[in-house]
Amino acid sequence: MRIFYHPITFEQSMHCVLPEDESKHICKVLRMQNGESIALVNGKGTEAIAMIIENHPKKCLIEIQSVKEFNKENFHIHIALAPTKNMDRTEWLVEKMTELGVHEISFILTSQSERKNIKLERLEKIAVSAMKQSKRYFLPTLNPLISLRDFFELHSPCGIAHCSELTKKQNISKLTKEQIKNLPIIIGPEGDFTSEEINMMQKNENLFLHLGNTRLRTETAALYACAILKSKLEE
């Protein structure tokens, strides 16, 4: 059954109007008829089965027939990175991390960041599409760009994966489940962190990490970290 997205709280027997893009997809692209069934997710852990009442191409009316709740995992994968100069690479990364099951993605501004802005709305659409495609029930939280310093005020301690030889690093693959289950991972930007940034991050109980023997692009590093966390934390 096709899966559609509507970010509301579903209730049995409730009638509601779907967002315009989903209405258009149902009526114009798939040409679905009144009485046909669809699956709906809200990105907050609920799936509903619904029937099309009025296949209006802008305001498709549906009736919720059944509702199923899914439990959140007992771990939280949070990856923070500076958006790449070439935005395609960040968009690709958001899709791939969503498929792998990331819970939260933060974007940070670093001294070497060339890109100073992102279109969060566009990234959210990519995440919604990847969530539906990979049959996930939770939409990852995408946080707006903030400075590295502000990120540390909100989230600490963190795992920090970077390239330079200024710190003593552990291999991310050797960390225990207990160490990583709620540890945000920050990925070094294109051009790496400056020595001032490294000094600033040496406070608190941050862990400096490496990602194995090859030098990875920032988006590959983020995806690799996400893959290792998923592999270790899923039952």
Within 87-126, which residues bind a second copy (CB under 8 A)? 92, 96, 99-101
Within 128-167, which residues bind a second copy (CB under 8 A)? 133-136
Asked if 33 and 52 touch (Cβ cutoff 8 Å), the reply is: yes
Rule CB under 8 A: is residue 75 a binding residue for a second copy?
A: no
Rule CB under 8 A: is residue 213 a binding residue for a second copy?
A: yes
Strand arrangement, sheet containing 185-187: 141-147, 104-109, 78-81, 185-187, 159-161, 207-210, 170-171
- Nearest distance in Å: CB 1, a second copy: 14
Q: How far apart are CA 13 and CA 172, in angstroms?
A: 48
Kindly provide the residue ranges of all beta strands, DSSP E only, lying in the chain, ordered along the sequence. Answer: 3-5, 15-17, 37-41, 46-54, 61-69, 78-81, 104-109, 141-147, 159-161, 170-171, 185-187, 207-210
| Choices 76-84, 143-151, 197-205, 208-216; region in contact with a second copy by CB under 8 A | 208-216
| Per-residue contact string for residues 166-205; x = within reach of a second copy by CB under 8 A | -----x-x--------------------------------
- Nearest distance in Å: CB 73, a second copy: 8
Residues with Cβ within 8 Å of residue 35, at least 6 apart in sequence: 51, 52
- Residue closer to a second copy by CB (options 167, 220) is 220
Asked if 81 and 142 touch (Cβ cutoff 8 Å), the reply is: no
Among 20, 54, 69, 234, binds a second copy (CB under 8 A): 234
- 147 three-state secondary structure: strand
Length in residues, the chain? 235
| Choices 13-21, 50-58, 78-86, 212-220; region in contact with a second copy by CB under 8 A | 212-220
| Choices 23-31, 116-124, 150-158, 220-228; region in contact with a second copy by CB under 8 A | 220-228
Rule CB under 8 A: is residue 227 a binding residue for a second copy?
A: yes
Q: How far apart are CA 203 and CA 72, in angstroms?
A: 32
Q: Which of 192, 157, 190 is nearest to 175 (CA)?
A: 157
- Nearest distance in Å: CB 76, a second copy: 15
Alpha helices in 80-119 (DSSP H): 87-100
| Choices 6-14, 28-36, 178-186, 215-223; region in contact with a second copy by CB under 8 A | 215-223
Rule CB under 8 A: is residue 31 a binding residue for a second copy?
A: no
Residues with Cβ within 8 Å of residue 118, at least 6 apart in sequence: 83, 87, 90, 107, 144, 145
- Nearest distance in Å: CB 232, a second copy: 7
Residues that bind a second copy (CB under 8 A): 92, 96, 99-101, 133-136, 171, 173, 212-217, 220, 223-224, 227-228, 230-232, 234
